[in-house]
Amino acid sequence: MTTPAKKILIVEDNKLLQQVYFDRLVKEGFLVLQAFTGQQGLAMATNYNPNLIILDIMLPGGLNGFDVLSQLRANSSFKHTPIVMITDLKDEKKTAESMGASDYIIKDEKNIDETISKIKSYLKTDLVGKIKKILE
């Protein structure tokens, strides 16, 4: 029996950057979902329960990345889901971490290979996370 592909949700309004991540992650064997606004991101997360979420902070349409992060972390279904903030904002790392972000990547400080490697590290077999989910 084969293991189903891990699902990654990318919530990013920059279409070019969104496409670059989409192409690379699909090539790596992931099922990739895309959202371009905070509202779309929340709906996609709730409907498809991704294994990891890549989340920009500056998003159009009323909900920014912090709003999305806060609502996801308030939902018990996403308590242990890795949420990686990828942003241009250099001064918001402490805020993101205090709200429950798993990681904080500044877009122009990491190349795509470093970012993909970091994302993949969060999706390796997580026995502790699986045990926590079973016990809940």
Query: What does the mean pLDDT of the chain come to?
Result: 89
Within a domain: residue 1? no
Within a domain: residue 44? yes
Domain CATH number, residue 39: 3.40.50.2300
For the chain, what is the largest distance between any 2 Cα atoms, rounded to a whole number of angstroms? 46
Within a domain: residue 30? yes
Buried-exposed string 99-134: b where 16+ CB fall within 10 A, e elsewhere: bebbbbbeeeeeeeeebbebbbebeeeeeeeeeeee
Within a domain: residue 94? yes
Within a domain: residue 91? yes
Q: Identity (one letter) of the amino acid at 42?
A: L
- Separation CA 101–CA 53 (nearest Å): 10
Structural domains counted in the chain: 1
List the domain range (segments joined by +) for residue 63: 7-135
Within a domain: residue 2? no
pLDDT reported for residue 136: 57
Within a domain: residue 80? yes
Does the pLDDT value for residue 110 go beyond 60?
yes
* Average pLDDT estimate for 73-79: 94
Whether the model clears a pTM of 0.75, i.e. scores above it, the answer is yes
- Separation CA 136–CA 73 (nearest Å): 16
